[in-house]
Amino acid sequence: MLALFGLTLLAKGPYSAFLPIAYEPIVVAFGRLYAAPLVAVVATSGALLMEWVNYRLFGWALGTRPLAAARSFHVARGVVRWFRAAPFATVWACAFLPTPFGLVRACALLAGYPAGRHLAATALGRLPRYWLCAAAAVTLPVSDLALAALCVALAAVALVIAGARLKSTRGARRRLPAVPDAATAP
């Protein structure tokens, strides 16, 4: 179970947006070894710990001068208005469903949603999700070797995507036009 907890910390950390790791197959694999409720509780505990870190870290980042301006964008104000209509249900649904969770975290931070409520909704969404994944492990008609191969393949795809993102951001920086300095501007 320590291995699952450690993998959860790796998969759900602040860098997870840049290096996506296919986490559900890991939960399925552990569901073959341990009882589904135990797997769900350990996976949810690790996810909550990292979500608390993410919430604090990204909250701090949004308070910095370059990112604080994001709050004033028209689109950001509209998304925050939408989020405030049902914040707990939105966080819960996005924690339960396979959606990019970083977007909900950003909405919660921009809306000033309390961390405790955010974590409670996250827990109530993640626990049944991981429980279902772990319980499905016993019923899936897939061999252990095929499941391990799927985990490795998804991890490889995640690394390729991360590499492509890194390459595209480096290329985008090179293509930006030079900004003339004030002394040479007409």
- The pLDDT assigned to 176 comes to 46
- The pLDDT assigned to 92 comes to 93
Distances (CA, A) of 17 to 34, 58, 105, 125: 29, 12, 12, 19
- The pLDDT assigned to 177 comes to 47
Angle ∠(55,90,5) on CA atoms, nearest 5: 45
Per-position pLDDT tens, the chain of length 186: 888 888 888 788 777 766 666 788 888 889 988 999 999 999 999 999 999 998 998 888 877 776 767 666 766 777 788 888 899 999 999 899 887 788 888 889 888 899 999 999 999 999 999 999 899 887 877 777 776 777 677 667 666 766 666 666 565 555 544 444 444 444
Taking the whole predicted model, whether its pTM rises above 0.85 is answered as no
* Domains of the chain, residue spans: 2-175
- The pLDDT assigned to 71 comes to 67
- The pLDDT assigned to 18 comes to 66
Instruction: Give yes or no for a contact between 43 and 28, defined as CB atoms under 8 angstroms apart.
Output: no
The set of residues, in sequence order, having a beta carbon less than 8 Å from that of 53 and lying 6+ positions away, is 13, 14
Rounded CA gap, 115 and 56, in Å?
8
- The pLDDT assigned to 124 comes to 96
- The pLDDT assigned to 43 comes to 95
26 in the Ramachandran plot: left (φ > 0), alpha (ψ -120 to 50) or beta? alpha
Instruction: Give yes or no for a contact between 21 and 158, defined as CB atoms under 8 angstroms apart.
Output: yes
Q: Which residue has the tokens 């604090």?
A: 56
Rounded CA gap, 84 and 109, in Å?
11
- The pLDDT assigned to 88 comes to 93
Instruction: Give yes or no for a contact between 123 and 44, defined as CB atoms under 8 angstroms apart.
Output: yes
DSSP code at position 98: T
